[in-house]
Amino acid sequence: MGVLTGKTAIVGVGETTYYRDAGRTTLSLGVEAIRNAVKDAGLELSDIDGMTSYQAGGDSHGSNEMAQSLGMQLNYSLDIMGGGSSTEALVAHAAGLLAGGYCNNIVIFRSMRGRTGKRMGGQTPSGPVPAVAINTDGEALRIGVTTPAQNFGIAAMRYFKEYGAGTKQLAAVAMTHRYHATLNPRAFFYKKPLTLEDYISARWVSKPFRLFDCCLEMDVACAFVMTRKEMAYDLKHPPIYILGGSARTMSESPAYNPGRLNTAVHHHASNWASRRWMGMSGVTHKDIDTASFYDAFTFTPLIQMEGYGFVDHGEAGFWYEEGHGRLDARMPVNTSGSHLSEGYTHGIQMVVEMARQLRGRADCSTDACPDWEKGIHCFDREKGCRQVKKYGTQDSLPEVGFCGGWGSPTTSSSLVLSKFSSSN
């Protein structure tokens, strides 16, 4: 196991509403999410002395601005650039800071106007913005590839050709995540199911992706609080411990080129991280009760599942199609609806959701579970309960969760969380 396995924990989580148009700045959104997370931990703002965040190309306010707006004095702050592989990497960063004594309680946040502000390869509702090349060498731009859907679609088509997957498997991902969103009062698609006919009849975006293969760009902020193990026991909720993971692990080459040992463009960096997360956390695939995989598109969870070793290469789409990722199956995945059906946050909400599920506080409909805040659930999906239970049990809560992060096909991060501070 790792040197810091079980030494730190997530003790509070919070977010804003998922807006199509918040009419607010990223400063306003971030302040609200941070307040909510600190309150959820049972702490005061004055207890927080560390803060870190990530942003994409300067699309957000940073930690110092958030802290000043909240009247806080920090002993440590840092903002990094990046997207979907950042949350899990910052958790590793924070664990080291806490263990080293740089701070006592640290907030990690992401605040973004993903719908009305800067959009990934797209335009704002008010009008077009200049196209941005995905690859720094401009090669993609020269062949007309300016958006993530085009870029990842190339990898998806190669994957289909090699493994025989296709539209039905992508639809299974979209419908699984949507089903979970229909039970989540926070989700944009709460109580709005998706049928196969709905999926197939939706407009094309960039082959092989239709509309519901793509994430929901939102104006939103999410945050969570981490602290050291010895400080976590007496707070408001059961602590969720950091067992290990991987942080922005790369494939053997930082870009697609003939020098790669594996030249398939869908061969994700998670293939290099699969042994690292198990070795550090002391758990294996069979110990994972629930998981999330970064779902900017329906394709991205497939190659992550395979790369991290949960299924063999080429099998993830069929795994979804057979229903193995739904609530009450062996390993429910993306239980909030995630990027495809809750809202796009560049990955941070998946850690927030995992913490809620592992501490037994998934926010169900009050009609189904009026005492969900106390950890009391009926587990009746028809009534609207969305709390995960341990597979094969009537009402036992999950113990270990896995979060897979995505930066690109060549970068990945992962995180193993547990309600216990040790895998033993």
- pTM tops 0.85, yes or no: yes
From CA 111, how far away is CA 94, in angstroms rounded? 18
In tens, the pLDDT along 3-32 reads 899 999 999 999 999 999 999 999 999 999
Hey, where are the domains in the chain? 8-118+217-418
In tens, the pLDDT along 222-258 reads 999 999 999 999 899 999 999 999 998 887 664 545 5
Whole-number pLDDT of residue 48: 98
Return the exposure string of 306-333: e unless at least 16 CB atoms fall within 10 Å of the residue's CB, then b: bbbbbbebbbbbbbbbeebbbbeeebbb
Question: Low-confidence residues of the chain, pLDDT below 50?
Answer: 131-137, 254, 256
From CA 424, how far away is CA 422, in angstroms rounded? 5
* Joined tokens for residue 327: 């609530």
Whole-number pLDDT of residue 365: 86
Residue 191's region, left for phi above 0, alpha for psi from -120 to 50, else beta, is left
Whole-number pLDDT of residue 37: 98
Residue 208 contacts residue 160 (beta carbons within 8 Å): yes
Strand partners, 356: none
Residue 178 contacts residue 340 (beta carbons within 8 Å): yes
Instruction: Locate the DSSP E strands across 166-268.
Output: 204-206, 209-210, 219-228, 240-250
Fold of 8-118+217-418: Peroxisomal Thiolase; Chain A, domain 1 (3.40.47)
Whole-number pLDDT of residue 254: 44
CB half-sphere exposure, 240, CA atoms < 13 A: 30
Whole-number pLDDT of residue 259: 53
Give the dihedral sign, CA 114/86/300/357: negative
Give the dihedral sign, CA 27/33/34/35: positive
